[in-house]
């Protein structure tokens, strides 16, 4: 197991480094990440490179068998560069150039920024190519992060955007036709007339907006490629990764992940004041989204290890929480855990973003917890590397869909990610292992697919879904699917367009509900418990064209009309959920679909607070029990198990106690 922290030796006097490294070694660390913000320390002025301080830190670390991942420092170009070349800075929606002072303020299309980045990365790669203690690279830091989602509206972006459009549509006539620019007299007669979507009193064309999001995403991917090409050429034997941001969605993460050796991500479960307190299921969803990017295991490059905060201080991780988050990550496929950060900074924006140590630098309660994890991992490390996960259920997503909903949420209450998470959450509570994969993934291996809100549809996607169901799969699709084509233009066919025959329905009308408005419905299918409940946000009024009705509205002018349906298609079933039902109703439908498609849960019976995750390796099953609550729980076991952390055996029918925030890892062969 790769285990360590994010280390900023440049923030502390050199005399302290030995002590830091000694404490890291005592905690069982074997890897640190460094340098991702250290541009000015590595290039003091144009062409004045100096790697000596970093060499020294690497040496001290390697004397203690701690290896290094180096970040290319391009997220924070130095003041001297911004002062001489302000064109590296992004221009915001209002057309104003961002000022120097924060970080990640650069435009990925700025040719000056690209030239200086190229030089910096090449020098660094040359310097470390033969250093065995540098095992890999993290490119830049969190592309797209720190406000405005990395969007830029500068002149170079405008030029490149028009080229990007030209490559895509070839002719202006085609673009005009695909975007429907006849609307509001927006027909373009020269490429130069096409605007960047800067701030307007009204709103831009949704097709232009979607292409612009794709273009900016491609710009980061191209900027990343610039660095990858250099590193692959100079250091072919070192790995390359990037630190992603979980559910962040401004960049097409599938494309960004593609050229990397593996992906890493930054996991902050508890940002109560700064980013909302994530439920344990949301954290698990983030892990599963990250695992799905390359359909491979991953690293956590930054794992929260203290109270976070820039201006205000978030709550401290309670005893056991850092350990719980660590095993939660491992249970979902993490093969590297690096805590952010080693020691809390005395200065700068992140003075209150606490690490393992506080500013004073002595061992804290959190350090002792990390040390305990280090000892445990040392003992069991190899068993938990290379876990595989059951492939029975998948949830499908795409960034194009997410951008289209960002542009037009359809209903003020509708949030694609929350909608998606509401289904994941139920599966998570039922201990059903889930893969979250791209709409382009090979879906044939799964038994049950959930595809929330496929707003945009293309032929390839429709064919894949049909093929999946035809061969016996169960598919669940939710409302606002099959509305538009891939250029964000509505279909001129009955809804859900292209999916009517698969779903055996037609949506003849819909009602977008106000935020206080709810509707009532009931389940009426003979195989499902006849529940009554509520729904909100959106009501599709469905006419069956071959499908059977699962549920009907019991209120409003569409009382007695169908809202939930199931259609036999080939060997399988396609279920349509035409509204946003309460969790109980969703739960009933999901449990039924799980049973119908013969999907197995990781572990049948357990208290709701406990997440159970199943990983497999070399014929062995590993069951992770994570107690996310503050209560003691007992779990009755169904057979003999070996427990890895307590190092003991449990017999059939015995009760396994799990303390608040506790973790157990059961192994069965």
| 514 Cβ neighbours under 8 A, 6+ residues apart | none
Beta strand extents in 184-238 (DSSP E only):
none
> What is the spatial distance between Cα 162 and Cα 469, in angstroms, rounded to a whole number?
40
107 binding partner (options ligand GLA, Zn ion, none; Cβ < 5 to 8 Å by kind): Zn ion
Q: Which is nearer to ligand GLA, 20 or 142 (CB)?
A: 142
Secondary structure (3-state) at 55: helix
- Min CB(143)–ligand GLA separation in Å: 11
109 binding partner (options Zn ion, ligand GLA, none; Cβ < 5 to 8 Å by kind): Zn ion
- Min CB(407)–Zn ion separation in Å: 20
| Closest-CA residue to 610 (of 630, 592, 596, 637) | 630
> What is the spatial distance between Cα 365 and Cα 357, in angstroms, rounded to a whole number?
9
Determine the interface stretch with Zn ion among 156-164, 186-194, 390-398, 644-652 (rule: CB under 5 A).
156-164
The separation between CA 612 and the C-alpha centre of its own chain, rounded to angstroms, equals 21
Secondary structure (3-state) at 526: coil
- Min CB(272)–ligand GLA separation in Å: 14
Helix axes 17-26, 52-63, angle to 10 degrees: 40
43 binding partner (options Zn ion, ligand GLA, none; Cβ < 5 to 8 Å by kind): none
- Min CB(241)–ligand GLA separation in Å: 13
503 binding partner (options Zn ion, ligand GLA, none; Cβ < 5 to 8 Å by kind): none
> What is the spatial distance between Cα 481 and Cα 542, in angstroms, rounded to a whole number?
13
Instruction: Count the residues of the shown chain that bind Zn ion, applying the rule CB under 5 A.
Output: 5
- Min CB(157)–Zn ion separation in Å: 3
| Closest-CA residue to 57 (of 76, 41, 78, 77) | 41
User: Cis (ω within 30 of 0) for the bond into 341?
Assistant: yes
- Min CB(35)–ligand GLA separation in Å: 12
Q: Which is nearer to ligand GLA, 299 or 340 (CB)?
A: 340
- Min CB(289)–ligand GLA separation in Å: 16
Q: Which is nearer to ligand GLA, 71 or 496 (CB)?
A: 71
Contact 329, 339 (CB under 8 A): no
Q: Which is nearer to ligand GLA, 245 or 497 (CB)?
A: 245
- Local structure of residue 388 (DSSP, 8 states): B
Q: Which is nearer to ligand GLA, 266 or 288 (CB)?
A: 266
Which residues in this chain contact ligand GLA in the complex, by CB under 6 A?
Answer: 141-142, 266, 302, 340, 350, 353
User: Cis (ω within 30 of 0) for the bond into 496?
Assistant: yes
- Min CB(259)–Zn ion separation in Å: 22
H or E, element range at 165: helix 155-169
154 binding partner (options Zn ion, ligand GLA, none; Cβ < 5 to 8 Å by kind): Zn ion
- Min CB(552)–ligand GLA separation in Å: 47
Contacts made by residues 610-613, CB under 8 angstroms, sequence distance 24+: 610/635, 610/658, 611/280, 611/281, 611/284, 611/328, 611/428, 611/431, 612/431, 613/284, 613/331, 613/332, 613/431, 613/433
Mark residues 438-477: x for contact with Zn ion by CB under 5 A, - for none.
----------------------------------------
> What is the spatial distance between Cα 120 and Cα 101, in angstroms, rounded to a whole number?
20
Secondary structure (3-state) at 91: strand
Contact 118, 206 (CB under 8 A): no
| Closest-CA residue to 520 (of 478, 550, 563) | 563
- Min CB(340)–ligand GLA separation in Å: 6
Q: Which is nearer to ligand GLA, 187 or 345 (CB)?
A: 345
- Min CB(53)–ligand GLA separation in Å: 19
Q: Which residue is nearest to ligand GLA (CB)?
A: 266
> What is the spatial distance between Cα 108 and Cα 88, in angstroms, rounded to a whole number?
8
Q: What is the DSSP string of 294-310?
A: HTS-EEEEEEE-S---S
302 binding partner (options ligand GLA, Zn ion, none; Cβ < 5 to 8 Å by kind): ligand GLA
Q: Which is nearer to ligand GLA, 289 or 476 (CB)?
A: 289
Q: Which is nearer to ligand GLA, 370 or 441 (CB)?
A: 370
Quick check: 151 binds Zn ion (CB under 5 A)? no
Residues 94-133 that bind Zn ion (CB under 5 A): 107, 109
Residues designated as active site = 142, 302
Give the position of tokens 């809804």. Answer: 495
358 binding partner (options Zn ion, ligand GLA, none; Cβ < 5 to 8 Å by kind): none
Quick check: 217 binds Zn ion (CB under 5 A)? no
> What is the spatial distance between Cα 432 and Cα 599, in angstroms, rounded to a whole number?
8
Q: Which is nearer to Zn ion, 107 or 465 (CB)?
A: 107
Determine the interface stretch with Zn ion among 145-153, 320-328, 456-464, 612-620 (rule: CB under 5 A).
145-153
| Residues 49, 55, 60: CA angle, nearest 5 degrees | 160
Task: Output the 3-class SS for 607-645.
Answer: CCCEEEEEEEECCEEEEEEEECCCCCEEEECCCCEEECC
210 binding partner (options ligand GLA, Zn ion, none; Cβ < 5 to 8 Å by kind): none
Quick check: 157 binds Zn ion (CB under 5 A)? yes
Quick check: 281 binds Zn ion (CB under 5 A)? no
218 binding partner (options ligand GLA, Zn ion, none; Cβ < 5 to 8 Å by kind): none
From residue 243, how far is each of 214, 255, 265, 608, 652 by CA, in Å?
A: 20, 14, 4, 32, 42
Quick check: 431 binds Zn ion (CB under 5 A)? no
> What is the spatial distance between Cα 600 and Cα 618, in angstroms, rounded to a whole number?
20
User: Contacting Zn ion (CB under 5 A), which of 42, 105, 125, 152?
Assistant: 152
Would you state the structure tokens that stand for residue 442, as one six-digit string? 């090979």
353 binding partner (options ligand GLA, Zn ion, none; Cβ < 5 to 8 Å by kind): ligand GLA
- Min CB(645)–Zn ion separation in Å: 50
Classify each residue of 452-491 as buried b or exposed e, where b means 16 or more C-beta atoms within 10 Å of its C-beta: bbbbbbeeebbebbbebbeeebbbbbbbbbbbbbbbbbee
Could you list the residues that contact Zn ion (CB under 5 A)? 107, 109, 152, 154, 157
């Amino acid at each position: 197991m790769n285990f360590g922290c994010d280390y900023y030796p440049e923030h502390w006097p050199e005399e302290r480094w030995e002590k830091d490294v000694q404490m890291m070694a005592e905690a069982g660390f074997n890897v640190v990440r460094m340098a991702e913000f250290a541009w000015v320390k590595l290039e003091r002025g144009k062409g004045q490179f100096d790697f000596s301080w970093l060499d020294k830190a690497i040496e001290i670390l390697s004397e203690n068998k701690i290896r290094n991942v180096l970040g290319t420092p391009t997220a924070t170009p130095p003041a001297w560069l911004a002062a001489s070349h302000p064109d590296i800075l992004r221009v915001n929606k209002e057309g104003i150039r961002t000022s120097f002072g924060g970080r990640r303020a650069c435009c990925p299309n700025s040719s000056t920024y690209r030239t200086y980045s190229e030089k910096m990365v090449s020098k660094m790669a040359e310097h470390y190519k033969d250093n065995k203690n540098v095992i890999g690279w993290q490119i830049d830091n969190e592309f797209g992060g720190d406000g405005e989602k990395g969007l830029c509206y500068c002149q170079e972006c405008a030029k490149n955007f028009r080229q990007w459009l030209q490559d895509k549509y070839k002719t202006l006539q085609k673009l005009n036709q695909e975007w429907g620019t006849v609307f509001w007299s927006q027909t373009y007669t020269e490429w130069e007339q096409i605007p960047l979507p800067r701030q307007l009193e009204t709103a831009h064309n949704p097709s232009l907006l979607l292409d612009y999001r794709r273009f900016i995403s491609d710009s980061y991917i191209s900027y990343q490629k610039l660095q990858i090409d250099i590193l692959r050429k100079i250091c072919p034997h070192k790995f390359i990764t990037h630190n992603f941001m979980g559910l962040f969605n401004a960049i097409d993460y599938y494309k960004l992940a593609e050229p990397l050796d593996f992906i890493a991500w930054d996991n902050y479960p508890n940002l109560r004041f700064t980013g909302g307190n994530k439920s344990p299921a949301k954290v698990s969803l983030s892990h599963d989204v990250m695992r799905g990017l390359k359909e491979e295991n991953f690293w956590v490059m930054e794992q929260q290890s203290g109270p976070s905060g820039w201006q205000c201080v978030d709550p401290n991780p309670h005893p056991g929480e850092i350990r719980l988050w660590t095993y939660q990550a491992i249970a979902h496929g993490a093969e590297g855990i690096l805590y952010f950060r080693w020691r809390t900074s005395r200065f700068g924006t992140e003075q209150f973003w606490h690490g393992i140590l506080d500013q004073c630098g002595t061992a804290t309660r959190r350090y002792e917890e990390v040390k305990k994890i280090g000892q445990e991992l040392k003992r069991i490390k190899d068993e938990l590397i290379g876990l595989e996960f059951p492939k029975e259920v998948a949830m499908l997503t795409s960034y194009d869909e997410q951008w289209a909903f960002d542009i037009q949420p359809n209903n003020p209450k509708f949030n694609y990610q929350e909608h998606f998470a509401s289904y994941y959450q139920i599966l998570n509570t039922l201990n059903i292992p889930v893969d979250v994969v791209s709409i382009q993934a090979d879906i044939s291996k799964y038994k049950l697919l959930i595809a929330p809100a496929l707003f945009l549809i293309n032929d390839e996607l429709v064919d894949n879904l049909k093929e999946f169901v035809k061969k016996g799969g169960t598919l669940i699709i939710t409302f606002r699917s099959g509305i538009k084509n891939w250029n964000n233009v509505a279909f001129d066919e009955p809804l859900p367009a292209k999916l009517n025959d698969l779903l055996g329905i037609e949506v003849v009308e819909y009602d977008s509900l106000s935020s206080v408005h709810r509707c009532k419905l009931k389940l009426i299918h003979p195989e499902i418990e006849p529940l009554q409940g509520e729904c909100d946000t959106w009501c599709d009024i469905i006419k069956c064209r071959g499908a059977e009705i699962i549920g009907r509205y019991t209120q409003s002018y569409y009382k007695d009309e169908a809202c939930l349906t199931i259609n036999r298609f080939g060997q399988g079933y396609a279920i349509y959920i035409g509204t946003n039902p309460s969790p109980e109703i969703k739960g009933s439908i999901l449990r039924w679909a799980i049973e119908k498609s013969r999907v197995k849960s990781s572990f049948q019976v357990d208290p709701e607070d406990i997440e159970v995750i199943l990983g497999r390796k070399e014929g062995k099953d590993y069951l992770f029990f994570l107690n996310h609550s503050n209560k003691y729980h007992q779990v009755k076991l169904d057979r003999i198990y070996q427990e890895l952390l307590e190092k003991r055996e449990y017999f059939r029918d015995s009760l396994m106690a799990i303390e608040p925030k506790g973790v157990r890892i059961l192994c069965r062969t």
